Structure 1
Amino acid sequence: MAPPVFRFAPSPNGYLHLGHAYSALLNFDCARAAGGRLLLRIEDIDATRCRPEFETAIDEDLNWLGIAWETPVRRQSEHLADYGIALEKLAALGLVYPAFESRAEIAKLVAAREADGPWPRDPDGAPIYPGAAKSLSADARARLIASGAPYALRLDMAGACRRVTGLTWNELGEGADGACGVVQARPEAWGDVILARKETPTSYHLSVVVDDALQGVSEVVRGQDLFHATSVHRLLQVLLGLPEPVYRHHALILDGERRKLSKSSRSTGLRELRAGGASPAGIRRLVGLG
């Protein structure tokens, strides 16, 4: 039987903080306890925010914490063709369409619809896509694309859910509302999620399931903030014929006001804590792994 495979997958768009340290250390500890493998994946598809110096800092911080991982490291920016293949498979199923509204236009559409009552939100609190791009004719879409108009490629969620029913996943951690064991997936709660943009040929939802499959990841250990997104990931896995990992969503490290940490929070940044004299053992104690 193959050893379990874990991964830590940060984005190099800022410096790591205590929340990242907790997730990285937890993955490292789980892999070591299970006799498994730990991979490092750099999620750098956002070319406007990801920078080489942040990736260098990730390496430095993880090495300082005593975390070891296998090489080579997978960088998403080097594997855009893999995501394109997955996108083509979904398009061949008739489940992908271009939407041309800007973020400002979408906000106006939501405001107009809310004149008649609250517009539905996804589990992250963002409005469900309110546009009508799905009803555009093929000719109209082709003309807009030929004109150079920006667009997002969205998943036809209703069509996808008609193809896949009874979705679940195996949760070993601390899901929303204490959910554990077999969890019922509800991808429809997300509406027509974005799979790619004209300028960015993949999205987090698409790339994460493709990467996990290609890297043989069998154990996904990540924060509770991604618990609900697992519904979308399970849907894409089934549509693309990808294997299903086991999931373990862990509690988040929060700041003094009970908010999720951000990369701009200098008081909890690993670089600042290290410069202030913190030790790797001290970081473990801070995040509750001492």
Structure 2
Amino acid sequence: MPPVFRFAPSPNGYLHLGHAYSALLNFDLAQGCGGRFLLRIEDIDPTRCRPEFEQAIYEDLAWLGIAWEQPVRRQSQHLSDYRAALERLTAQGLVYPSFESRAEIARLVRERQAEAPWPHDPDGAPLYPGTAKQLSAAARTERMRRGLPYALRLDMAAATAQAGPLTWTEQGEGPEGETGVIAAQPDAWGDVILARKETPTSYHLSVVVDDALQGVTDIVRGQDLFYATGVHRLLQTLLGLPAPRYRHHRLIRDAGGMKLSKSSQSVGLRALRGEGASPSDIRRKVGLL
């Protein structure tokens, strides 16, 4: 079977040079080895994802000379797949609801930090400090019956104990130059959120389900997701899904050394095209020519 690569943007803004580099790299690698290239639209957040951004993704990628297989998988059309995975984890006793608001969690973190340094995940966010895992089944049911907002979390201690030691094969490199066989450390993320009352899946859950269902064999993405691979390897193991090969690539940064992002209003491909840039210019800017 030929290798399968994918590019999976969220339609919550216009693509920038960082997206162009990742999409072009995936496309070039697929073409170079006679593999397949898939496009996936990760639109599970209805408050931020918009149709005009999705249409812009198609237009920008086509302008770059990238072709993808049809049909395009849109996550919003496959919520039942994520629900089934969540139910499987729940049946294993690995999922529990937490009911604290973001403000309450921030208060709990401040209280704990007043006593001793509180651990943070690789992205710098504090680990979940609450005690919802200790609530009785009756207490959980009552709170959910009352319609309280909740997040469904992975019991990381139980999950890692069940899965045992995990690794992945890194064909690129991590932020510190890590490559080869990497020991996964999902516990560095604490009890990660798998879904919320109003959102039936999370990035971590949906990405491993999608990659497995689409037969993705090679995941090529930015170094900012290197450490998240530990969580993904854990979920793959718990759900009985295959382990892809991983290749994390360098990030495209602005003149100040910051990673390009939609939230920081990084210049989009559409704007560069409007200024007269060509697809070859974009390749040159990201170091692929």
- Bin for the TM-score computed over the shorter chain: over 0.9
Name the structure 2 match of 1:97.
Answer: 96
Question: Which residue of structure 1 lines up, in the alignment, with residue 242 of structure 2?
Answer: 243
DSSP-derived class of the 2:72 partner: strand
Mean CA deviation greater in 256-265 or 114-123: 256-265
Q: Cα–Cα, structure 1 residues 179 and 267, in superposed 2: closer, same or farther, change >3 Å?
A: closer
Structure 2 residue ranges without an equivalent (≥5) = none
Give runs of aligned pairs for residues 278-289 of structure 1, distance below 5 A. Answer: 278-289=277-288
2:49 corresponds in structure 1 to 50
CA RMSD of aligned residues (A): 0.8
Distance, in Å, in 2 between the alignment partners of 1:213 and 1:267 is 32
Residue by residue over 1:211-253, the C-alpha shift from the partner in whole angstroms, topping out at 9 and shown as x without a partner, is 0000000000000000000000000000000000000000000
Verify the 8 A CA contact 1:99 1:154 in the aligned structure 2. Answer: yes
- The answer to whether structure 1 residue 85 and structure 2 residue 88 are counterparts is no
Could you tell me which residue of structure 2 aligns to residue 148 of structure 1?
Answer: 147
Aligned to 1:213: 212
Provide the C-alpha distance between the structure 2 equivalents of 1:88 and 1:40, rounded to a whole number of angstroms: 27
Deviations 1:182-215 (A, max 9, x none): 0000001000000000000000000000000000
Matched residue, 1:133: 132
Deviation, 1:176, is 2.6
Deviation (angstroms), 1:266? 5.1
Distance in 1 (CA, whole Å) between partners of 2:263 and 2:150 is 30
Output the CA distance in 1 between the equivalents of 2:199 and 2:65: 34
Asked if the contact 1:171–1:246 (Cα under 8 Å) also holds between the matched residues in 2, the reply is yes
Does the aligned pair in 2 maintain the 1:8–1:27 contact within 8 Å?
A: yes
Measured after TM superposition, the shift of residue 274 of structure 1 is: 0.4
How much does 1:129 deviate?
0.2
CA distance in 1, matches of 2:51, 2:115: 47
What do residues 161-194 of structure 1 show as CA deviations (whole Å, max 9, x unaligned)? 1101120000000213111110000001000000
The CA deviation string for residues 31-84 of structure 1, in whole angstroms up to 9 with x for no partner, is: 000100000000000000000000000000000000000000000000000000
Contact 1:266 1:272 in 2 (8 A): no
Specify the alignment match of 2:36 in structure 1: 37
Partner of 1:198: 197
CA distance, structure 1, for counterparts of residue 263 and residue 138 of structure 2? 45
Q: Give the equivalent residue in structure 2 for 1:70.
A: 69
Question: Which amino acid letter does the alignment assign opposite residue 6 of structure 1?
Answer: F
Inter-partner Cα distance in structure 1 for 2:189 and 2:254: 28
Once the two structures are superposed, what CA deviation does each residue of 1:114-162 show, in whole Å capped at 9, x if it has no partner?
A: 0012110000000000000000000000000000000000000000011
Distance 2:267 2:167 in 1: 35
Give the TM-score, by structure 1 length. 0.99
TM norm structure 2: 0.99
Distance in 1, matches of 2:281 and 2:111, equals 52
Q: Deviations over 1:93-132 (max 9, x none)?
A: 0000000001111000000000012110000000000000
Show structure 1 runs of 5+ residues with no match.
none
Sort the Cα spacing of 1:267 and 1:97 in 2 relative to 1 into closer, same or farther, 3 A.
closer
Contact 2:254–2:260 (CA under 8 A) maintained in structure 1 = yes
Mapped to 2, the partners of 1:128 and 1:266 lie a distance apart of 28
Residue in 1 that maps onto 2:116: 117
Residue of structure 1 in register with 2:183 after alignment: 184
Give the deviation of 1:257 after TM superposition.
1.0
**In the aligned structure 1, how far is the partner of 2:259 from the partner of 2:238?**
32
Residues 264 and 239 (structure 1), Cα distance of their counterparts in 2 relative to 1, 3 Å cut: closer
Q: Any residues of structure 2 matched to 1:255-270 within 5 Å, and which?
A: 255-264=254-263, 268-270=267-269
Cα deviation for residue 268 of structure 1 reads 2.8
1:98 match: secondary structure: strand
Q: Which amino acid aligns with 2:115?
A: D
- Aligned partner of 1:5: which letter? V
Distance in 2 of aligned mates of 1:107 and 1:225: 24
Pair 1:267–1:46, CA change in 2 (3 A): closer
